[in-house]
Chains A and B, each alone.
Chain A
């Protein structure tokens, strides 16, 4: 470990407090939660695709769009947690 890296390592411990740890845990929880939610949104889109084959109506394209909007919103939320928090 060179001198610069060693200083960074020391700074991390010097700046450590319980508040930072809480924020870090909260951010991690939100990121993991939104990853799971994206998986759920993908399953919803997949279910819509399957179910619209079971029942064919003129409303189906609108429902498909809503499913994709939901998935896009889940992705935007993950991006917010990763980039803004």
Chain B
């Protein structure tokens, strides 16, 4: 006898409208709010249809988190109407510590320069201007660092995996792989810090032209691997059933 434990985050099952004319349509034409509502609706719809490991996981609602399970108010470009995001990942915040340290040094550096004598020959209005420029550049760097982290996402949906690389302002690379095309999923946790805090890189081998998709430095790589594997077997079962 199998016993299924449901948590409080779960919504009651809703029938999946498989013959809906909306199927396989893109959500491009809809407004942002409609797209977000659609994800919320889809999550409710497919909740009972998800693998058990994922179904019983508590939902994370914070959009600034690096590990979001069954997120509600989130959608992505190119999402199909019946497609649902089950996992959204970002790099573990610990990977940003180096940048944060540099920014902290940048924040206090002018305070030390103010005490030095080489600024004495400059008029106050020049000193003020240079300091304002320094802090503005620092603010811009922090903003760009944040954007590079925030928009570098790894998405697992009930149809495919998407890797959005936004490493700098001038580099954007989106890779996606259908779940049925995935051949192998493994992960590497390397280093003492990664082992202690539990983050690592998940490698996804596919049969398509894009040989490999990498989810770099994501939290809980073992759990992510398990969820992807479950989603793949679930998708294959569903395809066989249809």
Q: B32 is contacted by which of A34, A60, A66 (Cβ under 8 Å)? A: A60
Name the CB-closest residue of B to A50: B172
Q: In the complex the two chains form, what is the Cα distance from A50 to B169 in whole Å?
A: 11
Chain B residues lying within 8 Å of A47, measured Cβ to Cβ, are 147, 169
Instruction: Give the residue among A43, A47, A57, A59 with the most B Cβ atoms within 10 A.
Output: A57
Residue contact A54 to B164, C-beta cutoff 8 Å:
yes
Chain A residues lying within 8 Å of B63, measured Cβ to Cβ, are 57-59
In the complex, which range does the number of interface residues on chain B fall in? Answer: 20 to 34
Residue contact A51 to B166, C-beta cutoff 8 Å:
yes
Counting CB contacts under 8 A, is B126 at the interface? yes
Name the prevailing secondary structure of the A interface residues: helix
Chain A residues lying within 8 Å of B164, measured Cβ to Cβ, are 54-55
In the complex, which range does the number of interface residues on chain A fall in? Answer: 20 to 34
Distance of A82 from chain B, by nearest CB (Å): 11
Residue contact B140 to A44, C-beta cutoff 8 Å:
yes
Distance of A53 from chain B, by nearest CB (Å): 5
Q: In the complex the two chains form, what is the Cα distance from A44 to B150 in whole Å?
A: 14
Distance of B100 from chain A, by nearest CB (Å): 17
